[in-house]
Amino acid sequence: MAFEALASISHVAHVTITTKTADGKCAYRASYSDGKLKAPPKPCAGNQGTQITVEDLFYNIATRRKALKNPSEEYGKILEVVG
């Protein structure tokens, strides 16, 4: 489910993922925009683990509007997540 959320977020925000394995010599960074990988992952400096950065959330508002249902359904989903 987390991967589905991340995929959805990549359609409405600029997403950058930096990851390094315990035995890796370097980390790798990949950037997504409009739900697509902008370029092949590139080696970079980084700590062990994975860091996900989301910037400009809802910059692509037209895509978000297409996904919106009626206001009461959206409100119900918000209450479910927050609750």
From the centroid of its chain, how far is CA 55? 9
* 20-64 pLDDT, tens digit each: 999 999 999 999 998 899 999 999 999 999 999 999 888 877 766
The conformation of residue 28, written as its DSSP 8-state character, comes to: E
- Whether the predicted pLDDT of 76 surpasses 70: yes
The pTM score is 0.70
29: its two tokens? 């960074």
Beta bridge pairs of residue 14: 55
Set out the domains of the chain in order of their start, with CATH numbers: 1-82 (3.30.565.10)
